[in-house]
Structure formats: structure tokens, C-alpha cells
Structure 1
Amino acid sequence: MNDKISDMLAVAAARAEPVVRGVADGQLGARTPCADYDVRDLLNHLFHVVVGFQSLAAGKEADFSTTPDYLKGNWRDRFGAETALLVTAWAAPGADEGTKGSMNLPARTVGSMALLDLTVHAWDLARATGQDFTPDEEGLRALGALVTQMGPTARQMKVLAEPCPVVEGATPFEELLASTGRRADWLPDQL
């Protein structure tokens, strides 16, 4: 089992990138399972997380108070380049040590937060745009622990929605989705 954050981020990025590339321009206004975002907003949010968490890996601050529009020019290629920079930043010596950001969270927790966004939001985008997405099993184990640990605080801060019921026989990924307030059976035509 490999539990190095940079390695898990590399796998998550490799699984998220084809989903991002597969979003057609005509789908940017579509709804997503993440109720606060349409596809365009969610792509911009995911880009902003990827860029911001590069700074956090280097021990710098990241500003998440506003989200720029990243969907200009050749944004699909740029997403791949930015996720590669994210992985490199978290692979740097010492990136996964100490505390990060203004909340002074353990570096591993912060890196896992980026992993959560790359995994869950890739699924959100895939569901909204009719694509397939399969998460990484090792990453799921780390994410389950993260949501158990940080979920109550994240819900108070309105970063995560209240959990959804878990259906009998749910997969570990379906359980993770439910813990983040998502229904695994969500379809684009649901209101």
C-alpha cells in the first residue's frame, strides 16, 4: 500500500484529467451533483483548488476568497499541466511535514483535502456530463479517514453538505459520496 500524498494525488489527477478533457463547451452550464455549482463553476473551483494547493504544499498561503475564471484559452491542457505541478509540489522534500495554511492543519490533512476535491469533483463532473469515473482504491481509504476526521468541521463551515443515507450494499466510494452529501444515483435530470 502506497500512502504518500503525492503518489495518491498523481493517480487522482490521472483519473480526473480525462473527465475534464471530456467536458464539451456546450455542457458548461449543466447542473452537477454539487448543488452550489454548475459545470463551469465546478471546473473553476477545481482549477482553483489545484493551483492553491500548490502554494500550500510549499508552505505559502492560498487565497480562496474568490475564484478566478480559469476557462480561457486551452484550459483542458492547462488543467493537466496544473495537476502535474500540484503533484510535484507535494512530492518536494518536506511538503508532507509540519502544518500548512492559516488553519495550521497537518500537511497530510491538507494534501488529503486536495485529493478529496480531485476525486469527488471529478465524479461530480463525470456524472453531470455523462462520463465514466472510477476512483483509486488507495486514495479512497485516505479520504474515508479524512471525512471522518474533518467532516463535522467541514459541515459547520459549509464546505461539505450534510451526509446522505447510505444504501445497503454500498461500495466504499458510494459511502464516501454519501458522507460528502452526494447521492451515488444522482442523474443530471434530477431537480
Structure 2
Amino acid sequence: MNPISDRYRRRAEAFERKIAAVRPGQWSDQSPCEAWTARDVVAHIVVMHAAVLRPVQRNLSPAPSAGDDPLAAFRAARADVQQVLDSPDLAATECDSPAGWMSVEQQIDEVLSDDLVLHGWDLARATGQDETMDPDDVARLWATVSATPPELMQKYRTPGAFGPGIEVYGPEVPVPDDAPLQDRLLGLIGRRPR
């Protein structure tokens, strides 16, 4: 078993359940990401799936757009990424990333798979679903994000640093030191947990 593939699969299943639970009239509801609706959150995730396929010269398979059918768009993108993770040669391909050179599967794990957790919270918040993140995912993400060097964190918080319209994290939101770890993680990446 491949822990990166297993983690992606579990997180993608959770994100897909959130998409499936969105009622038709909720797709235009505001998400915690200021410029995005609930539909935009899913569209971003689908775009990120396309981005992690580029180093292995792959594109997303033909599918409805997230604008037309968010669930179908995500399912198709998810299958494409899972194929890469299930291929040892493709998964091991080296690629350049904002954090340096790494394997494609490591980039999927550290960027896309983590995005599924964080943006899963955004989608849940936007559509009134359960906002509780998996505690193991929270602990893992906290360890990673809180250890980010200040200069890289500053770059993550700078709109456009990784390309036009790209903002990785918002300004930190103060959260009490004794708040639950999920709340502290959300505050660190620029979300208002409550």
C-alpha cells in the first residue's frame, strides 16, 4: 500500500461527499475565501488537479466543467490523479514546485491532498455542512504549516507571488493559544474559524 495514494484517496472521498451534499441553490453561496463561491472552491480544486498532472505531460480527461457539474468535474479529475498515483513510474517523476524539486506524488501529497482538507472546510462552511476536519489531518497540516519558514510563509501570503490571481494563504487571523488545533490551523492560514 502507498500511504500517499491512500491519504489522497481518503481525502478525495471526503471532499466528494461534501460536493454531493451541496444543494442546488447553494452553489453561489459565499465561501470563506473572499473572492470565491462554493462552486469556485470546487473549480479551484479541479484546476489544482490539472496543475499536478502537467509534470507528467497529462491533462484532465474530458468531463463537464465545475461550472456545469461540480461533482462530475471533480470525479473525473480525481480519477486522473489517482491513475498517476497508481503508476510508480509517473508518481516518482521529479518536478519543480514552490517548495523545490520533489516527486509528483510528493507534490500531490503536499499541495493537492492538503488542499482537499482545507478547501473541504471552505466548502462545508459555505454550504452549512459539518466543518470538523479529521484530527489526524489537522495535526499533520499543523505540523507542516507551522514549520514553514517565515520568508516562505510571507510569499504564501502575498497575492500573485505564484502567478496572477493565486493566493495561497490569507493574512493570519488571531486565535487564542488554547483554542482547538483546528481553529489554530485555520487562523494560521487566514480563515476565521468561528
TM-score by length of 1: 0.76
Cα 1:92–1:153 change in 2 (3 A) is farther
- Confirm or deny: 8 A CA contact 1:90 1:111 kept in the other structure: no
Alpha-carbon distance in structure 2 between the residues aligned to 1:179 and 1:109: 21
Alpha-carbon distance in structure 1 between the residues aligned to 2:119 and 2:11: 11
Partner in structure 1 of residue 178 of structure 2: 169
Partner in structure 1 of residue 67 of structure 2: 71
Q: Which of the residues 99, 103, 106 maps onto 2:102?
A: 106
Deviations 1:99-146 (A, max 9, x none): 424655323245311022111111101111111143334433442343
Q: Which moved more, 1:89-98 or 1:12-21?
A: 89-98
Superposed counterparts of 1:1-191, under 5 Å: 4-56=3-55, 58=56, 60=57, 69-72=65-68, 74-97=69-92, 99-101=94-96, 103=98, 104-107=100-103, 108-147=106-145, 148-149=147-148, 150-156=152-158, 157=161, 158-185=167-194
Task: Percent identity, please.
Answer: 27
Cα 1:23–1:49 change in 2 (3 A) is same
Deviations 1:60-93 (A, max 9, x none): 488xxxxx95222x44134233223323322421
Alpha-carbon distance in structure 2 between the residues aligned to 1:164 and 1:96: 36
- Confirm or deny: 8 A CA contact 1:28 1:40 kept in the other structure: yes
Alpha-carbon distance in structure 2 between the residues aligned to 1:145 and 1:34: 23
- Confirm or deny: 8 A CA contact 2:177 2:184 kept in the other structure: no
List runs of 5+ in structure 2 lacking aligned partners. Answer: 162-166
Structure 2 counterpart of 1:106, which letter?
A: M
- Confirm or deny: 8 A CA contact 1:28 1:38 kept in the other structure: yes
SS of equivalent residue, structure 2 residue 192: coil
Q: Relative contact order, CA 8 A, sep 6+: which one is greater? A: 1
Structure 1 counterpart of 2:191, which letter?
A: R
Alpha-carbon distance in structure 2 between the residues aligned to 1:135 and 1:96: 27
TM-score by length of 2: 0.75
